[in-house]
Amino acid sequence: MSQSRKKSAAPQKIPQDLLDALLNNPYEGLILVDDQGIIRHMSSANEGIYPFTPQESVGRHIHDVSPKSRMDRTIRTGKAEIGRSMILDDKTRVVARFPLSKDGKVIGAAGKLLFMDPGKMKELYERITHLERRLEKYEDELAQIYRTNYSLDSILGDSPDIIRAKRLAEQAAGADSPVLIMGESGTGKELFAHAIHGLSQRDSGALVKVNCAAIPGELLEAELFGYEEGAFTGARKKGKAGKFELAHGGTIFLDEIGDMPLPMQIKILRVLQEREVERVGANRPKKIDFRLICATNRDLARLMRQGLFRQDLYYRINVMTLKLPPLRDCRDDIFPLFQHFSRILGREKTPPKILPGVKEILEKYSWPGNVRELRNVTERALIVCRDNAVSPADLPDLSQQEVLPQVIEEKASLKALMDQAEKKIIEQALVQASSRAGAARNLGIHRTGLYQKMKKHGIE
């Protein structure tokens, strides 16, 4: 008796004929896709709903059959979506999508039509539909804001150092490990971050950028982690999602991480270890899935020795390192870049002529502001040139772009000379940086100090 009970209680394999009957029953519109989004089964109940018959649909990508399908999102996130409205065959349908897993790994997804009559609950149905359309609109807008703007092809240059950096970026994109991009201001760190994200498996997710140097330390936590309603005076009603939450399923790019305050470094380390964030004012953390890319123009190893950057955070983010060369080390790229910027920034339909002497001047200059400074010089030359032809006279006097004044005025006091030098240093830093915050950072002073010195010297 006991053996009989044990036998009947043992797990039984579902007969194949029952599985076939379930999958092909005419009452349930079922679609099965694999982890690449390829349709492996479509039941006969879907006949006439999609542009292809069930037989024609098998083997096609789900987006070829249903362009607005979100089954690829279900595969990526591993989360079910039950009771969603969707327009199919010019009719509003209620659908469900859920992941299919084996041994803890998502191996595909299933989608099916829930043949409900929305007319029985018209008011609720219309409200849900309206809210879902608004949500999709906001998701589309968010995707536009955080879309990838650059690819590796957008990064120009044929110097060995640039080619090596692009090759490393391509290798880094294939992994999901943290990437640290190091280089002077204006060398293209953000372009490389975009390119790595665009080549990665997370390219359909957002690339969320945070400039750690541009956000005051007291606001950085709320900006990165978000906050709940009533967390502090002035907090938004219903709270606000932080940058890490917005990067869920995608990539977060922490630019100028070398300027992050030490207390925040500790909290970032915890997020990287636990893969969860806790909003300001919240009682419980929230799990997130993201890829981290960091960038800095500072020597993190030196900051670490000085006690200004945490050693444990440094080793956590420094898995894959890209060191971008300054423009002065890639002299063969200077003139081709000038030609490229001339074509894309020119106001005329035809590319401007570049007269003799321009190339030599550009290649002799040291370009402390790197590619960003070269772009600014190109734009200025195109504005002042005549007849769509750039001559040496249209360039700023790069040969005289020195920090200290060349001529010491007669009877000038030491204080007057120091004021002259300080003014020239600040003016040059503002030209080389993309912002006042960037200029202050490059000079190693606080923004308030920079503003005071600009006012002192009459710099607009």
Structural domain boundaries, residue 181: 152-323
- Give the residue from 274, 293, 323 where a domain finishes: 323
pLDDT tier at 333 (50, 70, 90 boundaries)? very high
Give the pLDDT mean for 318-327: 94
Which residues, including other chains, have CB under 8 Å from residue 288's CB and lie 6 or more apart? Answer: 244, 245, 247, 248, 271, 275, 276, 277
Range 7-13, long-range pairs (CB < 8 A, 24+ positions):
none
- Give the residue from 299, 323, 347 where a domain finishes: 323
| Least confident segment among 9-13, 176-180, 189-193, 432-436 | 9-13
With respect to residue 7, please indicate whether it lies within any of the assigned structural domains: no
d(CA 429, CA 299): 19
332 and 421 housed in the same domain: no
Which residues, including other chains, have CB under 8 Å from residue 449's CB and lie 6 or more apart? Answer: 440
pLDDT tier at 456 (50, 70, 90 boundaries)? confident
- Give the residue from 359, 376, 400 where a domain finishes: 400
Q: Between 15 and 416, where is the model more confident?
A: 15
Q: Which pLDDT tens digit goes with each residue over 391-422? A: 998 888 776 454 444 444 444 566 777 777 78
Give me the number of domains the chain comprises.
4
CATH (domain of 233): 3.40.50.300
Q: What confidence score (pLDDT) does residue 408 get?
A: 45
269 and 332 housed in the same domain: no
With respect to residue 11, please indicate whether it lies within any of the assigned structural domains: no
Is the pLDDT at 4 greater than 50, yes or no?
no
With respect to residue 37, please indicate whether it lies within any of the assigned structural domains: yes
332 and 235 housed in the same domain: no
Q: What confidence score (pLDDT) does residue 411 get?
A: 47
Q: What confidence score (pLDDT) does residue 435 get?
A: 78
With respect to residue 175, please indicate whether it lies within any of the assigned structural domains: yes
Average pLDDT of the chain, as a whole number: 84
Which residues, including other chains, have CB under 8 Å from residue 305's CB and lie 6 or more apart? Answer: none
197 and 59 housed in the same domain: no
What percent of the chain has a predicted confidence (pLDDT) above 70?
87
Task: Note the pTM of the prediction, 2 decimals.
Answer: 0.58
396 and 430 housed in the same domain: no
With respect to residue 1, please indicate whether it lies within any of the assigned structural domains: no
Can you read off the two tokens belonging to residue 204? 């359909």
Can you read off the two tokens belonging to residue 130? 């309206």
Q: What confidence score (pLDDT) does residue 224 get?
A: 93
Q: What confidence score (pLDDT) does residue 2 get?
A: 47
With respect to residue 362, please indicate whether it lies within any of the assigned structural domains: yes
159 and 295 housed in the same domain: yes
With respect to residue 119, please indicate whether it lies within any of the assigned structural domains: no
CATH (domain of 107): 3.30.450.20
357 and 446 housed in the same domain: no
Q: What confidence score (pLDDT) does residue 403 get?
A: 43
Q: Which pLDDT tens digit goes with each residue over 339-395? A: 999 998 887 778 889 999 999 999 989 898 899 999 999 999 999 888 888 999 888
pLDDT tier at 86 (50, 70, 90 boundaries)? confident
Q: Which pLDDT tens digit goes with each residue over 140-191? A: 555 555 566 678 888 888 899 999 999 999 999 999 999 999 999 899 999 9
227 and 288 housed in the same domain: yes
| Least confident segment among 4-8, 124-128, 182-186, 425-429 | 4-8
Residues 111 and 96: beta-carbon distance below 8 Å:
yes
With respect to residue 147, please indicate whether it lies within any of the assigned structural domains: no
370 and 432 housed in the same domain: no
Can you read off the two tokens belonging to residue 70? 């979100």
101 and 156 housed in the same domain: no
Q: What confidence score (pLDDT) does residue 104 get?
A: 87
Q: Between 236 and 62, where is the model more confident?
A: 62
Q: What confidence score (pLDDT) does residue 122 get?
A: 61
219 and 293 housed in the same domain: yes
427 and 387 housed in the same domain: no
